[in-house]
Structure 1
């Protein structure tokens, strides 16, 4: 095994411990458990709740974090389901957020990524649009944009 992979895995073990001790309410972040019962630390299934008082409220949005052997030098790839409606989410589901690209620092934690993505829900960055339809509605028809967001939130009810 490459030494880089060792660094990535040991950091992810620490992230997992830290998350279990203390994480924001409504959020989920855990490594994938494989059919044989082993845990794949390099892929995490997460849930990012919509903030109360926003059009995203009531939605619990599934997100996958895919870590490379170069983590934490390189950020994880963060993916919503394909077709996720948001100005800064590509049609593939990939999230476009500065802390996941140009502003990435190895000190950024899983918690900071998920809270940053939650914040992005209600504060999209039209200057870095990744999706044409949501960008057009966000900039030209806010009422329809908000309606679409609320409809999407209903499609992702709490899993409990």
Structure 2
């Protein structure tokens, strides 16, 4: 079986499992192309902000771009460009250990999304991806939290 075939069959299985059971408030589905076909290599997702955090009430769009050699290598996970978070690059790319040096082929889409949700309220200042955001986080936590709550309001639930 070609490498891309392994990736696609794994993603088809992940999709089936997700449709049967997934965490409340999360969305994860393969991209639908203009011709109506499904692209298993790109997933459109929504990560809800955790209750009781400054992220609560936000439903944050995230794209997972799977490489042809998935699950040997992790997907690229991106929020919209300009997303405000210590560990999100200005391009929107998420900087998270389970997506790089701690990647294991056994990690599932569900685990990735839960890990990203956890990262929202528990940033890793030892691995900053946005300088201005990092400085605000380190020097003025109140302003940082205000900015997070403001961003959460920019991404309300679609239902």
Q: Establish whether residue 83 from structure 1 lines up as the match of residue 55 from structure 2.
A: no
Q: Establish whether residue 103 from structure 1 lines up as the match of residue 123 from structure 2.
A: no
TM-score by length of 2: 0.99
SS of the aligned residue for 2:126 comes to helix
Distance 2:153 2:3 in 1: 41
After TM superposition, the runs of 4+ consecutive aligned structure 1 residues lying more than 6 A away are none
Aligned to 1:93: 92
| Number of aligned residues | 159
Mark the runs of 5 or more structure 2 residues left unpaired by the alignment: none
Mark the runs of 5 or more structure 1 residues left unpaired by the alignment: none
Aligned to 2:135: 136
Deviation at residue 117 of structure 1 after TM alignment: 0.2
The root-mean-square deviation of aligned C-alpha atoms, in Å, is: 0.6
SS of the aligned residue for 2:17 comes to helix
Deviation at residue 133 of structure 1 after TM alignment: 1.1
Aligned to 1:43: 42
TM-score by length of 1: 0.98
Aligned to 1:3: 2
Deviation at residue 130 of structure 1 after TM alignment: 0.3
SS of the aligned residue for 1:62 comes to strand
SS of the aligned residue for 2:117 comes to helix
